[in-house]
Structure 1
Amino acid sequence: MMGDEKPVEAAGAGLSVHGEAAPLALIEASGDLRDPVIAGWSEGAERLFGYTAEEVLGRSLRDTLSGRGGREDFRRLAEDVSGASHRCESARKDGSEVVVAWAQHPLRDGSGRPARAIYVGRYVGRDVEQGTSARAPAEAEPGVAQQLLRAILDHLPIVVCKYDREGVFTFHDGKGTEAAGVEPGQLLGANILELYGSDMEASWGMRRALAGEAARDVSDVQGASWETWYLPMRDARGEPDGAISITLNASEARQKEIELRAKLQLIEKQQKVIRDLSTPIIEVWDKVLTLPMVGVVDSLRLSEVMDNLLSAIVSKDARYAILDLTGVDAVDTQTARHIIEMIDAIRLLGAEGIVTGIRSNVAQTMITLGVDLSGVTTVGNLRAGLKLCMRRMAATGEAGGAPVK
């Protein structure tokens, strides 16, 4: 069950998000892979070791998790890229220790060299401080692993599959098969690569796993969203020997993500409407536009206003544009510079910009900041600015001009 993510980045990127629901402790490692640092931390890892992602990201994997007798185990684990399992004494945040079966799956760059790695950890032993043997649970209850797997497959929305070297299903089970439109075991004996046919993009995750590299994929099948982890299997010599896939029905999480994005888009639209309402462009007279500014004027707001005003000047063939600052509480150097740039842009369009209503405190601020308004026409208020425009149009005989007392 695969989708449209690209191989190299998708295999390891975003583990802290996409590994949340994986039934194992998944850790993404980067840097010097002989002593890697933690770059991704799943919810399973947080539950097992007690650390949050914020506490461990960027820290040495070996220093963070190796127990009293586990540093050498972690060194051997870091050097083994075959995917073989290593039991390591691993430290928890509270100081206790557990035995975890780790396997390292390298992620290679475009040149084929290991660039990152995914560490997959499975709890196999109880607290070492309690003196309990790491193998005690399995020895005391030989069928416990099968019981746990059965419970997971029967009650969680996942699909677990195992494939031989050719990609033929040898195991196919899980409650998630219902949403996928198939029955447990229905695909046994089928070849997954043949099911995908010539769709190379859809089958890249499985192909990478069969080649010995871990991968992760997101896809939409039967109206549901799925996240799949592909893990390679290896024989005693460390050679690729089939693969395992763990697929999670992530429809609910995906739907919440879609709803959140929709809400954010709605908020952005509402903010734009508010900004537009707070800076309306009004045609107060033939060929005369006014832009009343209210509140605190920042650079972002002025940038949007400039675009809208220049477009209005062109569309209405305006001769004058009045920037009314009566409602402006404060300006800074950047804002004052934007106002002057706006006046210059208006002139380039063949119109004239006039600034009205500068408050005394704003005027003092501009003087203190050294803002040069000598080339800008300013008048006391909007009424005076409109009269000035009408006089000038009357003096030149332009339409819209009229004698004004």
Structure 2
Amino acid sequence: MASHDQALIDVLRDERAAVLKAWTTATHGAHASVANRDEADELLGALQQGLQSQAPDDLQAEGWAGARRLLEALSASRAAQGQAAGDTSAFVLALKLPIFTALQQRLGKDSQTLLDAVVSVTTKLDTMAQWTATAFQRTREELIGRQQEELLELSTPVIKLWDGVLAVPMIGTLDSSRTQMVMEALLQKIVDTESGLAIIDITGVPTVDTLVAQHLLKTVTAIRLMGADCIISGVRPQIAQTIVHLGVDLQGVTTKASLAAALALALKRGGWTVTRNA
């Protein structure tokens, strides 16, 4: 093991309390919480473990597994709290000064070892900070992805209108993933409620192109394979013209200009009659 790495290990072992106090004070103030101190202490221990491993300069090595897990957990926790990636990296980088100070006190007369130790710890902490930034970004993307899925589920509810009749009001742009989600939810609802008719209302869909029309046809086909029928409502004049212009074949698919017309047809098919009180 290089002498400068051994010097780092000795500092983290012998001056751990002082380094920890200086670090938490710099990042959280004089009144850092127990959780803040425990978090920092764990990371110091993981840093020491990595330095003592067989590959002290390779953060990807097995000896740094504990440090990587801690950094990822730290990033995930702070991402969930709405903090910025830079805040997490700054927390790790703030460890430099306390370690530099401790190294200066220990190696003040050995300038070469001191320089090597400073370069070594700088490189390692920079790499750790970069790791937190990458993990933070990955966590944020996963969080945004889950939120988008939840929003899609909320924006395409399957509503039971009455026995045997379901409705799906579509709002916004249709794409492959959203259509798949709607199809799965609708087919499952058909099974659960034993419904024989589904109304897909596209009044809230701003534009219909070839891809959107194909998605609708696939959904209708899947509904029919389940033994149910389907009505597409909300086919405005502009959408009708677009479908004709695109040459999309909707032959055999029941369409209505409005949701009200689709509801009236559904009532008629079910043998219901609605009358107005005098």
Normalising by the residue count of structure 2, what TM-score does the alignment of the two structures yield? 0.57
The equivalent residue for 1:261 is 138
Seen in structure 2, the aligned counterparts of structure 1 residues 173 and 302 have a Cα distance that, compared at 3 Å, is same
Alpha-carbon separation, structure 2, partners of 1:177 and 1:224: 22
Take 2:147 and 2:211, find their aligned partners in 1: how far apart are those partners? 26
Kindly tell me: are residues 382 and 177 of structure 1, through their superposed partners in 2, closer, same or farther at Cα, counting changes over 3 Å?
farther
Q: Tell me the CA shift for residue 379 of structure 1.
A: 1.8
CA–CA separation in structure 1 for the residues paired with 2:162 and 2:70: 58
- The residue type paired with residue 319 of structure 1 is G
State the distance in 2 between where 1:365 and 1:224 align.
55
Structure 1's 221 and 308: CA in aligned 2 closer, same or farther, altered over 3 A?
closer
**Deviations 1:120-157, CA, capped at 9 Å, x for gaps:** xxxxxxxxxxxxxxxxxxxxxxxxxxxxxxxxxxxxxx
1:375 aligns to what SS in structure 2?
Answer: coil
The match for 2:6 among 152, 169, 173 is 173
**1:318, CA displacement in angstroms?**
1.6
Deviation of 1:348 (Å)? 0.7
How much has 1:301 moved relative to structure 2? 2.1
Instruction: Give the aligned partner of residue 220 of structure 1.
Output: 65
Task: Check whether the contact 1:205–1:216 (CA below 8 A) recurs between aligned residues.
Answer: no
Q: Distance in 2 between matches of 1:262 and 1:215?
A: 20
Where in structure 1 do 4 or more consecutive aligned residues deviate above 4 Å? 176-179, 203-206, 221-225
Q: For residues 10 and 135 of structure 2, what CA distance do their matches in structure 1 show?
A: 24
Give the letter for the 1:358 counterpart.
Answer: V
Deviations 1:321-369 (A, max 9, x none): 1011112211111210111111010011111111111011111110011
Q: Tell me, what secondary structure is at the counterpart of 1:175?
A: helix
Matched, 1:403 2:236: no
Match status 1:300 vs 2:149: no
SS of 1:291's partner is: strand
Please report the RMSD computed on the Cα atoms of aligned residues, expressed in angstroms: 3.3
- Measure the CA separation in 1 of the matches of 2:10 and 2:191: 61
Is the CA contact (8 Å cut-off) linking 1:306 and 1:342 kept in structure 2? yes
2:204 corresponds to which residue? Answer: 327
Q: C-alpha deviations, 1:276-322, integer Å up to 9, x for none?
A: 23222211222211111123323332222212211221222221110
- Write the distance in 2 (CA, Å) between the matches of 1:330 and 1:358: 11
Which has a greater percent of helix? 2
1:375 aligns with: 252
Q: Residues 355 and 377 of structure 1 are in contact (CA less than 8 Å); yes or no, is this contact kept in structure 2? A: yes
> Whose relative contact order is higher, 1 or 2, with alpha carbons under 8 Å and at least 6 apart?
2
How many Å separate the matches in 2 of 1:372 and 1:334? Answer: 13
**What amino acid does structure 2 have at the position aligned with 1:173?**
Q
Which amino acid in structure 1 is aligned with residue 235 of structure 2? I
Unaligned runs of 5+ in 1: 1-160, 163-169, 184-202, 207-213, 226-245, 395-401
Counterparts of 1:5-44 in structure 2, within 5 Å, are none
Question: Partners in 1 of 2:185 and 2:218 — Cα distance?
Answer: 14
Distance 1:215 1:282 in 2: 52
Q: Secondary structure at the match of 1:220?
A: helix
Aligned-pair CA distance for 1:172: 4.7
Distance 1:292 1:221 in 2: 49
- For residues 130-209 of structure 1, the aligned pairs below 5 Å read 161-162=1-2, 172-175=5-8, 178-179=11-12, 181=13
Deviations 1:70-109 (A, max 9, x none): xxxxxxxxxxxxxxxxxxxxxxxxxxxxxxxxxxxxxxxx
- When residues 177 and 317 of structure 1 are mapped into structure 2, their CA distance, relative to the original with a 3 A threshold, is farther
Q: 1:268 to 1:178 in 2, by over 3 A?
A: farther
Q: What's 2:164 paired with?
A: 287
* Distance of 2:148 and 2:202 partners within structure 1: 22
Deviations 1:187-241 (A, max 9, x none): xxxxxxxxxxxxxxxx8969xxxxxxx996252347866xxxxxxxxxxxxxxxx
Confirm or deny that 1:276 pairs with 2:159. no
Aligned match of 1:337: 214
Q: Secondary structure at the match of 2:195?
A: coil
Tell me the distance in 2 between the aligned counterparts of 1:281 and 1:178: 63
**Hey, what's the Cα distance between the residues in 1 that align with 2:10 and 2:163?**
70
* Distance in 2 separating the partners of 1:268 and 1:317: 32
Between Structure 1 and Structure 2, how many residues are aligned? 187
Normalised to the residue count of structure 1, the TM-score between the two structures is: 0.40
Whichever of the two has the greater Rg, that structure is 1
Q: Is the 8 A contact 1:297 1:330 kept in 2?
A: no
The aligned amino acid for 1:404 is V
Alignment-derived partner of residue 313 in structure 1: 190
Match for 1:354: what amino acid?
I
SS in 2 for 1:274: helix
> How far, CA to CA, are the matches of 1:224 and 1:292 in structure 2?
45
The match for 2:270 is: 393
Call closer, same or farther: CA 1:182–1:307 in 2, change over 3 Å.
Answer: farther
Cα distance in 2, alignment partners of residues 287 and 332 from structure 1: 31
Q: Comparing both structures, which one devotes a greater share of its residues to strand?
A: 1
* Identical counterparts, % of pairs: 36
